[in-house]
Amino acid sequence: MNEQEFIVEMRGITKRFPGITANDGVSIQIRKGEIYAILGENGAGKSTLMSMLFGMIEPDEGEIFIRGKRERIDSPRRATQLSIGMVHQHFRLVSNYTVAENIILGMEPEKKCGPFPMVDIAGANAKVAALSERYGLQVDPTDVIEDLNVATRQRVEILKMLYREAEILIFDEPTAVLTPQEIAAFLDIVRGLRDQGKTVILITHKLEEIKQVADRCAILNRGKLISVMDVASSTTSDMARMMVGHEVSFSTPKAPPHFGSPVLRLENLTVKNAAGFNSVNSVSFEVRAGEVLGIAGVSGNGQNELADAIAGLQRCHGGKIILNGRDISNLSIRERVEAGVAYIPEDRHNVGLVLDFTLRDNLMLKQYYRARFAHRHVMDEIAFDEYGKELIGRYDIRSNQGDATITRSMSGGNQQKAVIARELDLKTPLVVFMQPTRGLDAGAVSNIHRQIIAERDRGAAVLLISLDLDEILDCSDTIAIIFQGHINKIAPAASLTVEEIGLYMMGVKGGEAA
């Protein structure tokens, strides 16, 4: 009887990826006809959990019950048969097909034209029109996807699920790409779906939306289920505290900082994305010599653009980047390296490293042209070898064939060590770390944190941008919180509590509240 109450029940779900446990014994129960939110920081395991419900990956341990019956969901196809639908963060639509064609794709209604089966487009259009009428989702079935805005495309994705008669609708960060007005409309749609008897699961880190529509909310942290809360009787502050508030599991020993003069100064820095939207919106701050400035924030609030703009990988559209009194906003990437910017980028596979180069050549990537290593454009192999071996020894980079190892074959931790070794050995006045420990195990993480502190103690200005709040708390002397491309708060680390930072990250507190 008890089991019949829940349309979805996940029991003791554990999923491990190399070096990380994405879900650790998570159990949730979802009632039919409710809006169930799954809240957590980046990397908390929200998407992983729902990917298992939708059959994209299978759990290592644990059981999934759908309508009280134990099911093995080994593919999205199986999930669809169980009337589970999912709208991914990145829409999966064929952009030069019409709305109706996208919706019926994979289960086209047929009609016979003599001996030949034909797609019944007229029938499909009528059926899509009827569905959109019934659920209040305004779309024209004959519109072509590429002409539609993001919110309409999202409605097409929802109709795609409804056409497949989905009863359990999973949304992965559905409002990340929407404007505030579109968000309001979307939340209305979600309420409408619930009123029609659908069960809705929202993966999100936006507290405001949960407060507005969700009935219950599961909070995940580092793969573990922290709590399931009744939304009506909880405040957003409660939820924020649950989401980020937990003991710091490791800490790096550090001496009190000795701040010098400002090294990096941003003055109203503005960076636009491809759509012309201000990803970084008039950001100003300073980083002094001997200071670690940590930038906390939820993913997608302009952190990547900020780091890339400082390193020169993205154009700045307004404001100034000043390094030791010199305006570097219009310098090329190489000129900035020479001016003294070291940058550990987030994506070490496609940006930080040439994976098919040898370890030695990757260690040389920022210096191969310098007089020490090349004379009249001819590279000095001996100097290369010596320097490569020196860095490998000094930074303890492990690989099976020393400096001749193809970098691709190395472990993620050692690849990151190589990036860090190369950048830190430039001994620049400014070091920008972007997500330096992403995907690494605990040992590697604490090692990198020690290096960050060592850079500070050497007198460098360190800008640490991370989605991992623990990392920010562990290393920073000063913490800035970025929200929607804007620095929402900047204060000495000691003066901020975890709860406060959480609220600023969510935009609950601060100038640009959502």
Partner 1 sequence: MRLLRSLFFGDRFRMLRASFWALLFSLAAGAVILFLMGKDPVSAYANLLQGSGLLPKVKYAGRQNQLTDFLSFLDAMTPMVFASLSVAVALRSGFFNIGVPGQMLAAGFCAHIVTAALGNVLPSPLAKLLVLVIGIAAGAAMGAFMGWLKDRFNVNEVVTSIMLNSIAMYLITFYINTFYVDPVSRQSRAISDAARLTLSGVRTHGMKADFALAFPLAILVAFLLRTFLDRTTYGFEIRALGLSRGAARYAGISLSRTTLLTMALSGALGGLAGVAYFCGYFASIQPGTVPGMGFDAIAVALLGGNHALGCILASFLITVISKGSVYMSSRLSVEPEIASLITSVILIFSACSASFVGRRGGHD
Return the closest-CA partner of residue 214 out of 222, 203, 225. Answer: 203
Task: Let me know: does 313 contact 344? Beta carbons within 8 Å.
Answer: no
Cβ atoms within 10 Å of 337's Cβ, excluding its own? 19
Stretch that binds partner 1, among 122-130, 154-162, 385-393, 401-409 (CB under 8 A): 401-409
| Element of type H or E holding 64 | strand 61-66
Count residues near partner 1 (CB under 8 A): 35
Interface with partner 1, residue 333, by CB under 8 A: yes
Q: How far apart are CA 142 and CA 137, in angstroms?
A: 15
Amino acid letter, residue 505: M
Return the closest-CA partner of residue 449 out of 430, 431, 475. Answer: 475
In 315-454, where do the E strands start and end? 318-323, 326-327, 341-344, 374-375, 378-379, 430-434
The footprint of partner 1 on residues 212-231 (CB under 8 A) is none
Judged by beta carbon, residue 22 or residue 353, the one nearer partner 1 is 353
Interface with partner 1, residue 105, by CB under 8 A: no
Interface with partner 1, residue 313, by CB under 8 A: yes
Q: Which of 235, 250, 369, 372 touches partner 1 by CB under 8 A?
A: 369
Interface with partner 1, residue 361, by CB under 8 A: yes
Q: Which residue has the tokens 């906003």?
A: 329
**Please, what is the minimum distance in Å from the beta carbon of residue 50 to partner 1?**
24
Q: Which of 409, 457, 491, 499 touches partner 1 by CB under 8 A?
A: 409
Stretch that binds partner 1, among 53-61, 269-277, 336-344, 451-459 (CB under 8 A): 336-344
Stretch that binds partner 1, among 85-93, 238-246, 279-287, 378-386 (CB under 8 A): 378-386
Interface with partner 1, residue 20, by CB under 8 A: no
List the alpha helices (DSSP H) in 354-429: 359-363, 381-394, 412-424
Q: What are phi and psi of 248, to 5 degrees?
A: -75, 125
Amino acid letter, residue 329: S
Q: Which of 195, 381, 386, 512 touches partner 1 by CB under 8 A?
A: 381
Interface with partner 1, residue 343, by CB under 8 A: yes
Stretch that binds partner 1, among 160-168, 213-221, 272-280, 408-416 (CB under 8 A): 408-416
Task: Let me know: does 254 contact 291? Beta carbons within 8 Å.
Answer: no
Interface with partner 1, residue 368, by CB under 8 A: yes
Phi-psi group of 195: left, alpha or beta (phi > 0 → left; psi -120 to 50 → alpha; rest → beta): alpha
Interface with partner 1, residue 345, by CB under 8 A: yes
Interface with partner 1, residue 285, by CB under 8 A: no
Interface with partner 1, residue 438, by CB under 8 A: no
**Please, what is the minimum distance in Å from the beta carbon of residue 353 to partner 1?**
6
Judged by beta carbon, residue 312 or residue 507, the one nearer partner 1 is 312
Sheet holding 61-66, edge to edge: 20-31, 6-17, 61-66, 69-71
Interface with partner 1, residue 272, by CB under 8 A: no
List the alpha helices (DSSP H) in 136-235: 150-163, 180-195, 207-213
Interface with partner 1, residue 347, by CB under 8 A: yes
Stretch that binds partner 1, among 44-52, 321-329, 359-367, 484-492 (CB under 8 A): 359-367
Q: Write the burial class of residue 277 (CB in 10 Å: 0-12 exposed, 13-18 middle, 19+ buried).
A: exposed
Interface with partner 1, residue 394, by CB under 8 A: no
Interface with partner 1, residue 135, by CB under 8 A: no
Stretch that binds partner 1, among 142-150, 160-168, 227-235, 353-361 (CB under 8 A): 353-361
**Please, what is the minimum distance in Å from the beta carbon of residue 349 to partner 1?**
7
Interface with partner 1, residue 383, by CB under 8 A: no
Q: Are strands 374-375 and 341-344 parallel, antiparallel or unpaired?
A: unpaired
Interface with partner 1, residue 436, by CB under 8 A: no
Q: Which of 379, 426, 454, 491 touches partner 1 by CB under 8 A?
A: 379
Neighbouring residues of 64: CB distance < 8 A, sequence distance ≥ 6: 8, 9, 10, 11, 13, 52, 53, 70, 71, 72, 73
150-187: burial string, b at 16+ Cβ within 10 Å, e else: ebbbbbbbbbbbbbbebbbbbbbbbbebbeeebbeebb
Interface with partner 1, residue 330, by CB under 8 A: no
**Please, what is the minimum distance in Å from the beta carbon of residue 434 to partner 1?**
11
Stretch that binds partner 1, among 211-219, 245-253, 287-295, 337-345 (CB under 8 A): 337-345
Task: Let me know: does 298 contact 205? Beta carbons within 8 Å.
Answer: yes
**Please, what is the minimum distance in Å from the beta carbon of residue 351 to partner 1?**
5
Judged by beta carbon, residue 214 or residue 337, the one nearer partner 1 is 337
Q: Which residue has the tokens 């007005």?
A: 181
Stretch that binds partner 1, among 34-42, 236-244, 373-381, 498-506 (CB under 8 A): 373-381
Stretch that binds partner 1, among 154-162, 200-208, 220-228, 344-352 (CB under 8 A): 344-352
Helix, strand, coil percent content, the chain, rounded in steps of 5: 35, 30, 35
Residues of the shown chain interacting with partner 1 in the complex, contacts defined by CB under 8 A: 311, 313, 332-334, 336-337, 343, 345, 347, 349-357, 361, 364-366, 368-369, 374, 377-379, 381, 401, 406, 408-409, 412
